[in-house]
Amino acid sequence: MKSKATGPTLSYRLAVTSRSLAALLGGYLLASLGSICISLLAPMQKVDAVLSGMMLSFVFYLLAFIWCFACRSARRAWIGVLLPSLVLGMIDGLAYWMNY
């Protein structure tokens, strides 16, 4: 990952930007959906479930960040945050629909 004497190539820069966006935005989406999932499904009082969801969401965000820079390509970074988000989103939608 070190910059060579000639400087990083354009495609490398684009890949890093893409990963950063995946981490920043995709990670946030994942963390938000994860926190909703906990706040709707955790078997406790509403306020406790919401608090737990928010407190744990940062763990999701952290893991998403680490994944986005540890995986092999920028494409995998996006897949790695969007696929779980999609699953969580569907669970959230179902839980929300059952609640109301």
Partner 1 sequence: MKEGFRQAMAWLHTWTGLIFGWLLFAIFLTGTMSYFKEEITHWSQPEVRSHPLDAAASLGLAQQYLQANAGNAGSWFIRLPNEREAALNVGWREEGSVGRRGFVSRKLDAQSGQAVVARDSRGGDFFYRFHFQLEMPHPWGRWLSTFCAFIMLLGLVTGIITHKKIFKEFFTFRPGKGQRSWLDGHNAIGVLVLPFHLMISYSSLVLFMYMVMPAGIMASYDNSREYFNEVFGQREAPRAAGIPTSLVALPELYAKVRDQVPGARLGWIEVQNPGDLNSRVIMTRASADSVAFKRSDNWTFDGASGEQLSRGKPESTAMLVSFTFAGLHMGNFADSWLRWLYFVFGLAGTAVIGTGLVMWLGKRQLKHAKSDSMPTELRLVEVLNIASMSGLLLGVAAFFWANRLVPVTMEGRADWEVNSFLLVWALSLPHAMLRPGRRAWAEQLALGALAFALLPLLNALTTDHGLVRAIAANDWAMAGFDLTALAVGLFLAWAASRMMRAPKLADKRVSRAVKAPPETLGEPEAN
Q: How near is the Cβ of 9 to partner 1 at its closest, in Å? A: 14
Token look-up 């994942």 returns 30
| Min separation Cβ 82 and partner 1, Å | 16
Are residues 85 and 30 in contact, defined by beta-carbon separation less than 8 angstroms? yes
CA distance 46 to 50: 6
Residue 50: strand, helix, or coil: helix
Question: What x-and-dash track marks residues 36-75 binding partner 1 by CB under 8 A?
Answer: x-xxx---xxxxxxxxxxxx-xx--xx--xx--xxxx---
CB of 83 to partner 1, least distance (A): 19
Of residues 44 and 83, the one with the C-beta less far from partner 1: 44
CA distance 71 to 64: 11
Q: Tokens 């938000």 identify what position?
A: 32
Kindly list the residues in this chain that would bind partner 1 in the complex (CB under 8 A).
1-2, 31-33, 35-36, 38-40, 44-55, 57-58, 61-62, 65-66, 69-72, 92, 96
